[in-house]
Amino acid sequence: MNQFIRITNATENNLKNVSVDIPKNQFVVITGPSGSGKSTLALDILQRESQRQYMEANGIISSLINKPKVASVIGLSPSIGVGQQVTNRNPRSTVGTVTDMYTYLRVIYEKMGERNCPNCQAIVNQSMARDELSETIACRNCGHELENLTRAHFSFNTLEGACPSCSGIGKTVDIRIDQVFNQDLSLKDGAVTFWFPTVREYYGKIVETGAKHYGFNLEMELPLKEYSDVQRNFLYYGAESEEFKHYFPDKQPPKTVSRGRFEGVLTGLWRRYKENGGNSVENKFFYTHTCPECGGEKLKKESRLAQIGGFPITEVSKWTLEEVLEWINGLNRQAQEAKDSLTAMILEDLAAKITRIVNVGLSYLSLDREAVTLSGGESQRLRLATILGSGLTGVLYILDEPTAGLHPRDTQGLVKIIKQLRDIGNTVLVIEHDVSVMEQADHIIDLGPGAGTLGGEIVGEGTLLELQKQPRSVTGAFVKEPYAPPAIRRAGTGQHLSVKNAYKNNLKNITVSFPIGCFVTVTGVSGSGKSSLLFDILAASGLGEEDKSGYDQITGLEKVDKMVTVDQSALSRMQRSNVATYTEVFTLLRNLFSKLPAAVDTGLTAKHFSFNTEGGRCENCQGLGYVLAKMYFLPDIEVECPLCHGKRFKEEVLAVTYQDRSISDILDLSIEESLPLFEGQKKITAIIGLLCEVGLGYLKWGQTLTTLSGGEGQRLKLARELSKPAKGHALYILDEPSTGLHPNDVKTLLLLINKLVDAGNTVIVVEHNTDIIRASDWVIDLGPEGGEAGGYLVAEGTPEQVAANKESYTGAYLKV
């Protein structure tokens, strides 16, 4: 049996004939500077080749997956990749449903739930049902029969359990009547706000004809506020609506539209909204609000009445996982005392699931938290904890920076999960930059020495201690000589930006002051209230958003001329968006190519050099460079377009070259590589300079935005903001910009941040990276825990002052 996964002569992307042995059944870290080839080695070589070999072994046409550029990969196990992309966009999915924890909770309420009899108020317990198939339960006190609640009745995704008003979503959609109609105007003058003159004339005739069919007039010149109920309901809801039909119960509606069969303005809006899945251009007329029937709790009334120990399932779903765990353990003791072994077993399984999730630093999450609101790091750790419960062995797990968004205090719990996966007989390969994780790895593969063409080599192997003895190891060199914090802290301008009595989400009426003209870090464990304070309150207020709740007052905003908020939300979910299009370099490139003599001679314009429009793109793949191959029982895969061979464009477009390169060739270059090509193109070189300054020089122009990590996406947003002209004093609010950065690259990021502050701006950063926290002028530490146990101001001051605070978890990790 092979003791290693042996990769021989890998040349994919920037890898330079890399050959390496990865020890099996060990905890292995791949590290190195951003763009050095870590993801290429782990994902493009190991993950893709594992998929290809699996398909080949099962008789599936493996030619659909291109073999990576590698001589051989021997000893490969079946692999499971756990990345940071949030792929679940279903609004019905919650933390409870994606982990199956809510399923267990439903079973517990099916077995232990209690209700009051509506007839005599006596307690009716679910255990009183004759058997599981019984449709009713009889009250032992008065004999009144109640519906037997099964696990389906506690699911908001079933007909039995979902609130009938909102179908289990917890929210309902309504139309803003005041935005659809202007009551002071007549139909002729534009009372229906989205009817343009030609449309107004067309519908006006239909409405008038329909009204005459029923024997009344609908005056086109009369203001809407003077309409009778009959006139208003016909205009609003149409001839076939229940709101209108009761006026003329014996009258049949007109047979055709031309004869007055008017649909109704509001009825038409609803129809188009539903047909387009809520993506109508008329969405501005709709708004979402909490369901008035279930109060946002998603379940029907009968299901909400069932309780265990006085708590309905809807309330338990709102608790933090830590609180749920404590409650479950209490129920387990009761079940064991009652010798109910089946219920005790279910409770023990649920407690084990919750414990695994708590151990990866997610104790602050609640079961009802929507899956779409999770960050990439949270989603990844949730999946990792769930995987551990599967008990699979002989698997290669590939984890992409699982410490992203994790406070140093919680890293140990994550490492414990990784080691448990290893100890049951798996190989765990982790792309990681966190030194505390590397310290506990069995083996480290260090790539470098630089990014892009300057990387792609193995510069060190072994334990962290062994790397420090290897002269080419970038990681070893950093560990030997870590980043030295500045000796002097900035005092700022003496003015402050203050949020007074913040109570948004879990914040506990805290007052926080940010010194203007400084580099400020906001720290604390996950769920401690950092995002609530900075993004839900400060950023929302500065950007002029409507919701002013969650705080009493913000002072000092008048000192800020411009606010730049850069969070980790996805840049785009469209496969057509890439680095070049996002930075607007692609527009400059298309204009540049369209002016070349070869383009002018053949009549090619800037439009022909776009892969998003017809004309110059390959129509077989519509400019994507790939086509989707259906895999039936497996997810569809992307296969290189057989017509353009991944080049995206038609031959005549590819024939036009700049500096001997087609537009497709340039999209395939890294940002750094392209710099010499564009000497003299000031706008392009300025953007290239900024992208390199934020540490993204290794990205390819054509790299799809959906493939970027949260940190890469954020630094790309920052570069675009910095490319705009500076106006006065700017406040920059950044959300963990160090995500995905090697410790060596953090130095580059700090140079940029300090450059912004030295230019007279203020930078506030949510951060867990201790090197960045130590380099800041002022630290605001929230906590002490996540969820309800968080939201307090634990410490503030210079990094040295916070380090001396015994109450601060962050301070403990700032001590050198």
Give 651-696 as a DSSP string.
Answer: HHHHT--BTTB-HHHHHTSBHHHHGGGGTT-HHHHHHHHHHHHTT-
Structure confidence at residue 633 (pLDDT): 55
Q: Is the pLDDT of residue 192 over 70?
A: yes
pLDDT at 487 over 70: yes
Whether residue 284 has pLDDT greater than 80 = no
DSSP 704: B
For residue 1, give the amino acid letter.
M
DSSP state of 41: I
Residue 748 pLDDT greater than 80, yes or no: yes
Whether omega for the bond prior to residue 784 falls within 30 degrees of 0, making it cis, is yes
- The domain segmentation of the chain, as residue ranges, is 4-86+374-480, 174-290, 496-570+727-814, 579-707
Q: What is the pLDDT of residue 546?
A: 46
In this prediction, residue 631 has a pLDDT band, given cuts at 50, 70 and 90, of low
- Residue 590: is its pLDDT beyond 70? yes
What's the pLDDT tens digit per position in 305-363? Answer: 999 999 999 999 999 999 999 999 999 998 888 888 888 999 999 999 999 999 888 88
- The rounded percent of the chain whose pLDDT value lies above 90 is 61
Place 60 in a pLDDT band, splitting at 50, 70 and 90.
Answer: low
Is 0.85 topped by the overall pTM?
no
Least confident residue range of 249-258, 622-631, 656-665: 622-631
Q: Which CATH class is domain 4-86+374-480?
A: alpha beta
In the structure, what pLDDT confidence band is assigned to residue 473 with cuts at 50, 70 and 90? Answer: very high
Residue 449, preceding peptide bond in cis (omega within 30° of 0): yes
- Position 277 confidence tier, pLDDT thresholds 50, 70, 90: low
36 is written with which tokens?
Answer: 């050095």
Q: What is the pLDDT of residue 62?
A: 55
| pLDDT of the residue at 597 | 95
When pLDDT is averaged across residues 412-430 and rounded to a whole number, the result is 92
In whole numbers, what is the pLDDT of the chain averaged over residues? 89
Q: Which residue has the higher pLDDT, 638 or 295?
A: 295
Cα pseudo-dihedral 45, 48, 49, 54, rounded to 10: 160
On the question of a common fold for 4-86+374-480 and 496-570+727-814, the answer reads yes
> Which residue type, as a one-letter code, is found at position 790?
G
Average pLDDT over residues 386-403: 89
Mean pLDDT to the nearest integer, 639-659: 94
Residues sharing a CB contact under 8 Å with residue 301, sequence separation 6 or more, in sequence order: 294
Q: Is the pLDDT of residue 216 over 90?
A: yes
Kindly report, residue by residue over 524-578, the tens digit of the pLDDT.
998 899 989 999 899 888 755 545 678 999 999 899 998 988 877 767 657 788 9
What's the pLDDT at 486?
86
pLDDT of residue 658: 96
At residue 261, the pLDDT reads: 93
Distance CA 513, CA 19 (A): 53
Structure-model confidence comparison of residues 743 and 630, the more confident one = 743
pLDDT of 635 reads 63
| Contact between residue 524 and residue 531 where contact means Cβ atoms under 8 Å apart | no
Q: What is the 3-state secondary structure (H, E, C) of 267-328?
A: HHHHHHHHHCCCCCCCHHHEEEEECCCCCCCCECHHHHHCEECCEEHHHHCCCEHHHHHHHH
Q: What is the rounded (10 degree) CA torsion for 212, 217, 221, 222?
A: -150
Place domain 579-707 in its CATH homologous superfamily: ABC transporter ATPase  like domain (1.20.1580.10)
Phi, psi of 540 (to 5 degrees): -60, -40
CATH architecture of 496-570+727-814: 3-Layer(aba) Sandwich (3.40)
Give the CATH architecture of domain 174-290.
Answer: Orthogonal Bundle (1.10)
pLDDT at 449: 93
Q: Mind spelling out the 3-state secondary structure of 433-487? A: CCHHHHCCCCEEEEEECCCHHHCCEEEEEECHHHHCCCCCCHHHHHHHCCCCCCC
Q: Which of 406-410, 648-652, 708-712 has the lowest mean pLDDT?
A: 708-712
Range with the poorest average pLDDT among 35-44, 110-119, 479-488, 645-654: 479-488
